[in-house]
Amino acid sequence: MYKDKIEEIKNELKDLFTNIKDKHTLENVKVEYMGKNGKITLLNGQIKEVPNEEKKEFGMAVNEIRTMFNDGYTKTLEEIETKEINEKLNSEAIDVTLPGTKLPVGSAHPIERIIETLENLLMSMGYDVVEGPEVEKDLYNFELLNLPKGHPARDAQDTFYIKGEEYLLRSQTSPVQVREMLKHEGKDPIRIICPGKTYRRDEDDATHSHQFTQMEGLLVDKNITLGDLKGTFEAVAKKLFGEARETRFRPSYYPFTEPSVEMDISCFNCNGKGCNICKGTGWITVGGAGMVNPIVLKNCGYDPSKWNGFAFGFGIERLAMLKYGINDIRVFYVNHDIKTLEQFDRREY
């Protein structure tokens, strides 16, 4: 008798879940079979009527159909939930091709970018970054740098003087070196770079600017050679213009260095073959340098028989123009279009 009943429920369970598509029906079915008065629950109560020797068999059979039901129920529930989530996801679809919301992020001025690149490299080589005033004394801008009054390179034509001739808008960042040497009173070694604004009486055009930016470096220590200057320059050149750059020195003249050199890099555009950028020479001049003139060391309180060193200087606008392919220096100062500035909001390797 109970065997027929078990067989009957088993048969029902085979197709029971096939057509159930929603949670509500599924729960009703659960009540019908597993509820308080459910068909399977009621089956349990019949164990009393089963002869002792068949009780074990009966128990196993009931367990089997209970498991059958639970498996079917769980599987169906998962199917229904998966279907529901998929429907919800589909209903949430948006047009992902519409533009994103632009977050305001500012960019560094190209001049500042070059300065920071140089600072990062040279600070890792032990150079401190110091600055000095733009309204400067003639004494520091010229006199102590071996440019006495009347020296052609300090022509009043070229410098913005202020009130008499004692003060001026500095025409180079070299006075910062003077100030630093005077501060150390000939006692300590010096390793500094000084980026900053400089001014000359130039008419503004594509390649001249009455305001421009220099970065000079000064190293005063013992037994320093021109080779050390070349090695330092090479590190800078490769950092700015790539590992493939070669460097060369050409003899030059600055009143504050002796010997003086022009610093060239192999052209990054043509790799030395000759092109428009290097004017066919394969080389591009990027700065001036030399061994600090003993006269300058002495003027600034350093004994040239004990100390020596080198100084170098770069025109930052020139470096930026070369690096970014800018052909008009006024781009840095006049009519800053945001579209221009935004081009520099990008990392570089």
Partner 1 sequence: MAISLKWINDYVKVDDVDKVELADKITKAGINIEKVTTTDIPNLVIGEILECEMHPDSDHLHVCKVNVGSETLQIVCGASNVRSGIKVIVALPGAILPGDFEIKKSTIRGVESNGMICALFELGLEEKTEETYNKGITELGSDAKVGENPLDYLGLNDTTYELDLNPNRTDCNNHIPFAYEVAAVLNREVKEPDISFKELDEDVNKLVKLKVDTENVSMYNLMIAKDVTIKESPDFIKQRLEVAGVRSINNVVDISNYVMLEYGQPLHFFDKDVVGDSIVVRMAKDNEKIVTLDKEERDLTKDDILITDGDTPLCVAGVMGGLNSGISDSTKNILIESAIFNPYNIRYTSIRLGLRSEASLRLEKPLSYEYSLKAIKRACHLLEKYADAKIVKGIVTYDKVDKTPKVVDVTLDEINSILGMVLTDEDVKNILTSLGFPYTLKNNTYAVTIPSRRQDILMQKEDIIEEVGRLYGYDHIKPTLPLITTKKGEYAEEVGYRKIISKRMRSLGFNELRTYTLVSEEEKDKYNYNFGKSIKLNRPMLQEKSYIRQSLLNSLVNIAKYNKSKKNNDVMLYEIANIYSEGEEEYLEDTKLAFVMSGDYLNNTWNNLKYKIDFYLIKGVVENLLDYLGLKDRYSLVLSDKLPNEIHPKINSEIIVGGSPVGYFGKLHPNVSKDDMYVGEISLTKLIKNKTGDVKYHELNKYPKVEKDLAFIVDNSIDSASMQKEIKRLGGKLLTEVKVFDIYKGDNIGEDKKSIAYNLTFEDYTRTLTEEEVMEIFNKIISGIETKFKASLRDK
Q: Which of residues 182-201 bind partner 1 (CB under 8 A)?
A: 189, 191, 193, 197, 199, 201
Contact call for residue 305 and partner 1 (CB under 8 A): no
**β-bridge pairing 190-199 and 128-129:** parallel
CB of 70 to partner 1, least distance (A): 43
Q: Is the peptide bond before 259 cis (omega within 30 degrees of 0)?
A: yes
Residue (2 or 160) nearer to partner 1, CB: 160
Contact call for residue 276 and partner 1 (CB under 8 A): no
Q: How many C-beta neighbours within 10 Å does residue 156 have?
A: 10
Tell me the residue type at 1: M
CB of 142 to partner 1, least distance (A): 14
- Determine which residue in the list 125, 206, 273, 324 makes contact with partner 1, applying CB under 8 A: 125
Residue (230 or 323) nearer to partner 1, CB: 230
Tell me the residue type at 126: G
Q: Identify the residue whose tokens are 């309180």.
A: 301
Contact call for residue 328 and partner 1 (CB under 8 A): no
Give the interface segment with partner 1, choosing from 29-37, 44-52, 58-66, 151-159 (CB under 8 A).
151-159
Give the interface segment with partner 1, choosing from 6-14, 25-33, 68-76, 338-346 (CB under 8 A).
338-346
Contact call for residue 253 and partner 1 (CB under 8 A): yes
Contact call for residue 274 and partner 1 (CB under 8 A): no
- Which residues fall within 8 angstroms of residue 172, CB to CB, at 6 or more apart? 141, 198, 214, 216, 313
Residue (79 or 258) nearer to partner 1, CB: 258
Contact call for residue 272 and partner 1 (CB under 8 A): no
CB of 348 to partner 1, least distance (A): 15
**β-bridge pairing 161-162 and 167-169:** antiparallel
Measure the CA–CA gap between 318 and 114, rounded to whole angstroms: 10
Backbone angles phi, psi at 247, to 5 degrees: -125, 155
Contact call for residue 333 and partner 1 (CB under 8 A): yes
Q: How many C-beta neighbours within 10 Å does residue 30 have?
A: 15
Contact call for residue 32 and partner 1 (CB under 8 A): no
Contact call for residue 154 and partner 1 (CB under 8 A): no
C-alpha neighbours within 13 Å on the C-beta side of residue 252: 19
Contact call for residue 285 and partner 1 (CB under 8 A): no
Site residues (CB under 8 A) for partner 1, limited to 59-118: 98-109, 111-112
Give the interface segment with partner 1, choosing from 18-26, 36-44, 57-65, 219-227 (CB under 8 A).
219-227
Number of residues that bind partner 1 (CB under 8 A): 93
Measure the CA–CA gap between 323 and 319, rounded to whole angstroms: 6
Of all helices (H) and strands (E), which one includes residue 148? none
| Cα radius of gyration rounded to whole Å, the chain | 42
Measure the CA–CA gap between 83 and 102, rounded to whole angstroms: 36
Residue (130 or 270) nearer to partner 1, CB: 130
Contact call for residue 162 and partner 1 (CB under 8 A): yes
**β-bridge pairing 167-169 and 190-199:** unpaired
